[in-house]
Every structure is written in C-alpha cells, then in structure tokens.
C-alpha cells in the first residue's frame, strides 16, 4: 500500500495484488482483501483505494467489482508488457469506511 505524500491526499492509497496461478479461485485473494488489506487500511486511516487493471483482464475486473471497486477511468496504452507491448488500463477505486 502506498500513501500519497500530499496532505490533501493522505487518506488515499494505491495498491495492487497478485495471487500465484496455483492458488487462484480458492478464495486466497478474497481473504487477503477482506481479512488483511481492508482492515489494515481502516486501521491506518485510508479512506480511498485505487489502482489500475489491464482492460482485457476480465477475471480481475470481475473480482475487484465483487469486492466493491468500480471503474473510474480509462487509460489508453498505459501498461507496458514485455510480451504484448502496450495495453489499455482501467482505473478502479473504492471508498472504504
């Protein structure tokens, strides 16, 4: 979790998660967020979380939407991959209690 340094954005955090393929679809990611990341963010004063997801990663988009995140932006050719070159990204955000 990265907190923005500006006082005006100190309630915001940028994060990302990745689960090894052999552990996917077993509830690991959901548990990580619900039992780890969300409680830690609340305890440490984060109110807004955001990150980027590759626009063609439908599995990740569905996962994060099920956690309550929503798409708030579209960025053309934002992500650079050695395998596929530039990819479009969707920005996602969530306000937490």
Average pLDDT estimate for 2-31:
84
Average pLDDT estimate for 65-73:
97
Average pLDDT estimate for 71-93:
93
48-54 vs 12-14, strand pairing mode: parallel
3-state secondary structure of 41: helix
Domains and CATH numbers, the chain: 2-95 (3.40.630.30)
Which pLDDT band holds residue 12 (cuts at 50, 70, 90)?
Answer: confident
| pTM assigned to the model | 0.85
Q: Tell me the backbone φ, ψ of residue 19, rounded to 5 degrees.
A: -115, 135
Neighbouring residues of 7: CB distance < 8 A, sequence distance ≥ 6:
none
Average pLDDT estimate for 15-24:
88
Neighbouring residues of 74: CB distance < 8 A, sequence distance ≥ 6:
55, 88, 89, 90, 91
């Amino acid at each position: 979790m990265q907190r923005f340094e500006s006082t005006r954005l100190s309630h915001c955090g940028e994060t990302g998660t990745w689960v090894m393929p052999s552990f996917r679809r077993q509830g690991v990611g959901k548990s990580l967020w619900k039992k780890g990341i969300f409680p830690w963010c609340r305890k440490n004063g984060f109110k807004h979380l955001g990150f980027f997801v590759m626009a063609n990663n439908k599995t990740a988009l569905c996962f994060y939407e099920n956690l309550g995140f929503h798409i708030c932006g579209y960025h053309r050719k934002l992500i650079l991959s050695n395998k596929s070159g530039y990819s479009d990204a969707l920005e996602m955000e969530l306000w937490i209690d």
